[in-house]
Amino acid sequence: MLNQRVADSHAHLQDGHLALSGLQVRGHAMFSHKDLPLDSETLEYAWLLEVTIGDITGRLTAPQVGLFMAENCQ
């Protein structure tokens, strides 16, 4: 919940909220045996990442969005 001081006439805007219905992260390592001796370990050369985000719902004022971004996206 994001709280912000506002004038009494706008008290209904003081409390904001965000909700995320789901978050899933999957990773897949990719390996290669090309040009490696038979007795050596495999060579990891890449990762494939998949991020799935569910529904994002909420109620925020513009200053609350700015505060949220400043605190969480550094």
Neighbours of 64 (CB within 10 A): 21
- From CA 8, how far away is CA 68, in angstroms rounded? 23
Instruction: Report DSSP letters for 2-43, one per residue.
Output: EE----GGGGGGSEEEEEE--EEEEEEEEEE-TT--TTSPPE
Q: 13, 46 in Cβ contact below 8 A?
A: no
- Residues 12-29: tens digit of each pLDDT: 667 788 899 999 999 998
pLDDT at 21: 96
If one compares 71 and 28, the residue with the highest pLDDT of the two is 28
Compute the Cα dihedral for 5, 6, 11, 15 and give only its sign: negative
**Confidence band, pLDDT 50/70/90 cuts, at residue 70:** confident
